[in-house]
Structure 1
Amino acid sequence: MKPFIVSSLSSICFLLLQACSSAPAQNHTVISSTKIALPDYLEQYIGQDVSSIRRQLNLHRLGYETLGSPIQTSNQLSYTIQIPTPMPTMRSDSSVGAIPIPTATPYYDVQLECQVHFLLKDNIAQSVQYQGKACKGY
């Protein structure tokens, strides 16, 4: 009986040590950000009338600041937005001779503008176009 107990205790100790020394199990639950791409968000407004777009469009929810009021002509509804660009900040140690270390920050230092144009026909959005260097990629 004694060898069985020693063997069992040895096995338990081995398993506990193995569990402590190995990396924690990966949790496969992915928490996705709710950040929606601008083109995907704006696509939902195709086919809607101008008054619905003006009432429902919320670019601030996506992290964009709208500059001024939207401009409407007979064939388009235009918004000018700022595209936020993250700028690194420097974190430094208080000790003499410390080298500043760049760190990411949620604050934005550079303001880039993009114009979003809903092309209209009979006050219904037919498509979305982008104008400006800050819109590159849309």
Structure 2
Amino acid sequence: MHVICTDRAPQAIGPYSQAIALDGLLFTSGQIPLTTAGEKVAGDIAAQTGQVFDNLEGILSSAGAALSDVVKVTVFMTDLGEFAAMNAVFAQRFGEHRPARSTVQVAALPTGARVEIEAIARLAR
């Protein structure tokens, strides 16, 4: 097991790792719309989702992976009424790549975020 810790994404705001690499897979912790300085991105769901993807890409690249290596994503949203706007950013960032995905509405997220995304990616062997 290898712990991923990078300055390309915000530091964990609790007792957890940004990601764990194990047996050729990378498991990211859920990313919320915080900048690398730890400041919450204000704005609509599209802006927040964009920051979440910036964070995921920072973690993935630190582990030698990219969005094209992602095999499964879980999206947590506080309002599924914003699904279409989140989905537009999701589609733009993944391009033609289509990982498996679950999307769940939750009552609240840390720091008042509107979206949180976690990913599982394959790592090069």
TM normalised by structure 1 equals 0.24
Question: Which of the pair has the greater relative contact order for Cα pairs under 8 Å at 6+ separation?
Answer: 2
Q: Quick check: which one's strand share is greater?
A: 1
* Larger of the two Rg values belongs to structure: 1
